Amino acid sequence: MRTTFLSAIAGALLAVASTCSHALVFAINEGVTYRTTNDEIRAKYTAIAADLSKLLKQPVTIEPVADYPSLRRGLAAKQYDLAMVHPAHLSIEAIKNSGYTLLVVTKGFQQYTANFLVKPDSPIQTLADLKTNSLGLPDEDSITAWMVRATLRDAMGADVQQVKYVHTRYQDAVPFFVDNNLTKAGATASGGVIKAWQTKGGKILAKSRPVPIKHVIASPNLTPDQAAKVRDYLLGLDTTDEGKKKLEPTKYTGFAPYSQADMLSIGAWLGL
């Protein structure tokens, strides 16, 4: 009888230990329109993952997820305990449909804006003039493409269905489309691409409303206390020299709070 009791206690303790020590998965997505390897991504977040492991008293592993369909499925199945999600629409879908919580957004990316590019001598003067014309833009499931479609819908109404979209994986290919008359206009949210376009005399026809991107969200698998600890940690990273050093590999300056209700409102504008 005593042996049976002790075995039961040992089994219970083993189950608790197993639950407490299982690795938490921190998915990282940096978009589909940029070129970064998985090893480079893991290296960027090594120090942050180590801190989170200590904070949550569980191992935290970095899992790069570049493919949007895979990211969408993983979020829907709650496979990721934490996720850094570049495309706002996938983050919003996870918050709206899968119980994720918005923890923070990334500083420097709160005003992500799609710019519409045309040649200086283009006859296209307004977004409405894009009716029946061709527009080069990134991947159709990129956040830029979602912003472009919402902006054109607001400007053109039903006529938006007549715009001819030409998609490319990488944002820096968009100016090439316009320069070589493959499309009449282009759309990009890449700051570097926009700056280079303007530097050489290219014209900005219009801009979308800004959308914060690169959200960190927490799965409902985390307790409210765990989520709050992660939020506080991320918000405090740029307040110390040690924290700033851990941010350096990511190229981000820090993280900022953002209203989840306001984010869901942006989702409604996007058409989610």
pLDDT score, position 35: 64
Neighbours of 200 (CB within 10 A): 10
Residues 105 and 216 in one domain: yes
- Quick one: 169 and 72 in the same domain? no
On whether both 18 and 80 belong to a single domain, the answer is yes
Q: How far is 190 from 121, CA to CA, in rounded Å?
A: 23
Contact 149, 210 (CB under 8 A): no
Q: Does residue 98 share a domain with residue 228?
A: yes
Say how far apart CA 110 and CA 253 lie, in whole Å.
12
Q: What angle do CA 78, 82, 83 make, to 5 degrees?
A: 90
Dump the DSSP string for 67-134. -HHHHHHHHHTT--SEEEESSHHHHHHHHHHH--EEEEEETT-TTB--EEEE-TT-S--SGGGGTTSE
Helix (H) / strand (E) element for 17: namely: helix 2-21
57, 20 Cβ separation under 8 angstroms: yes
Which of these three, 183, 207, 231, is where a domain ends? 207
120 & 189 share domain: yes
Domain hosting residue 56, numbered range: 2-110+212-270
pTM (2 d.p.)? 0.86
Q: What is the DSSP string of 212-267?
A: ---EEEE-TTS-HHHHHHHHHHHHHGGGSHHHHHHHGGGT---EE---HHHHHHHH
Domain boundary among 187, 207, 227: 207
Residue-by-residue pLDDT tens, the chain, 272 positions: 444 444 444 444 444 444 445 899 999 998 764 567 888 999 999 999 999 999 999 999 999 998 899 999 999 999 999 999 999 999 999 999 999 999 999 999 999 999 999 999 999 999 999 999 999 999 999 999 999 999 999 999 999 999 999 999 888 899 999 999 999 999 999 999 999 999 999 999 999 999 999 999 999 999 999 999 999 999 999 999 999 999 999 999 999 999 999 999 999 999 99
Determine the Cα–Cα distance for residues 263 and 271; give it in Å rounded to an integer. 13
- pLDDT at position 34 is 54
Beta bridge partners of 105: 215, 256
The CATH number linked to 156 is 3.40.190.10
Same domain (yes/no): 106, 219: yes
On whether both 14 and 92 belong to a single domain, the answer is yes
Number of folded domains in the chain?
2
Mark whether 47 and 85 lie in a shared domain.
yes
Q: Of the candidates 207, 236, 254, which is a domain's last residue?
A: 207
Residues 103 and 121 placed together within one structural domain of the fold = no
Q: Are residues 199 and 249 in the same domain?
A: no
> 68 and 82, same structural domain?
yes
In sequence order, the 6+-apart residues with CB closer than 8 A to the CB of 211 are 88, 112, 113, 143, 147, 266, 270
